[in-house]
Amino acid sequence: MILLLNGSFRGSKSNSNYFLDLLEKELAEECERVHLNQVKDIEVLVAKIKEAGALVIGMPLYVDGAPAQIVELMETLYSQYRKEFGNLPVYIISNLGFYESTQIGIQLEIVKNWCSKMEFLYGGGLAVGAGEMLGSLRNVPPDKGPNRKLGEGVKKFAAAVSGRKEIQDIYVGPAGFPRRLYIMAAHMGWRNMAKQNKLVKRELYRKRV
């Protein structure tokens, strides 16, 4: 059994959960999904991790690191349970709003160091740039259009998870969609959000003292 742990505070509605969905479709093995924001009893989660043949953690990038609930879980497992799991293979799917997926590199290094302390096998990571954009294209097949690189990365990542193999971290982003267009689209999104919140341009640019 492969345990898919969604570490986003947004739970089932998150992009992290969507990218786990894409991975699960490529895995022939039985998977179990756990949303960390719904976990009430850490002992139940620990039992599921012990039963798992591999652990895949999906999460967003927060300030170049992991979300607080993932950090808390990592600290708890290290301080209370680190001798109980064996050489568990651990994989990461992470996404962020920036266009450049390489921004996720620090977060993956943090998880890699944690795996070393836990005596886990760090299997590798899949870093997804422009996560908000790619997460919104759920009606586009993962091997088509802007999703092409994402689809290729998921297939390669799934093969490693299925075989419990170590791979180098995979970095993907939008295919055929230039960075400048992504930034333009982001600006349009911010303007729309400002209008919805009844903010006018002069308020957005007014200097605060």
Chain segment 153-204, per-residue pLDDT in tens: 999 999 999 999 999 999 999 998 778 877 776 666 666 667 777 777 666 6
The domain containing residue 193 runs over which residues?
Answer: 178-209
Question: Within this chain, do residues 46 and 94 fall inside the same structural domain, yes or no?
Answer: yes
Question: Within this chain, do residues 164 and 184 fall inside the same structural domain, yes or no?
Answer: no
The pair of structure tokens assigned to 173 is 């982003």
Distances (CA, A) of 143 to 21, 147, 156, 177: 15, 6, 13, 14
Chain segment 121-149, per-residue pLDDT in tens: 999 999 999 988 899 889 998 889 999 99
Average pLDDT for 17-26: 97
DSSP-H helix ranges across the chain:
15-25, 42-51, 68-81, 105-118, 131-136, 148-163, 179-196, 201-205
Which residue from 24, 18, 125, 152 is spatially nearest to 66, judged by alpha carbons?
125
Q: What's the confidence (pLDDT) of residue 209?
A: 59
Q: What's the confidence (pLDDT) of residue 143?
A: 85
Which residues 6+ apart lie within 8 Å of 158 measured at CB?
A: 23, 26, 27
Question: Within this chain, do residues 67 and 115 fall inside the same structural domain, yes or no?
Answer: yes
Length of the chain: 209
Structural domain total, the chain: 2
Chain segment 64-75, per-residue pLDDT in tens: 999 999 999 999
Average pLDDT, the chain: 91
Question: Within this chain, do residues 97 and 193 fall inside the same structural domain, yes or no?
Answer: no
Tell me the C-alpha distance between 71 and 77, whole Å: 10
Task: Give the CATH number for residue 114.
Answer: 3.40.50.360
Contact, 151 vs 106, CB < 8 A?
Answer: no
Tell me the C-alpha distance between 146 and 133, whole Å: 9
Tell me the C-alpha distance between 125 and 151, whole Å: 15
Give this prediction's pTM: 0.89
| CB atoms inside a 10 Å sphere around CB 56 | 26
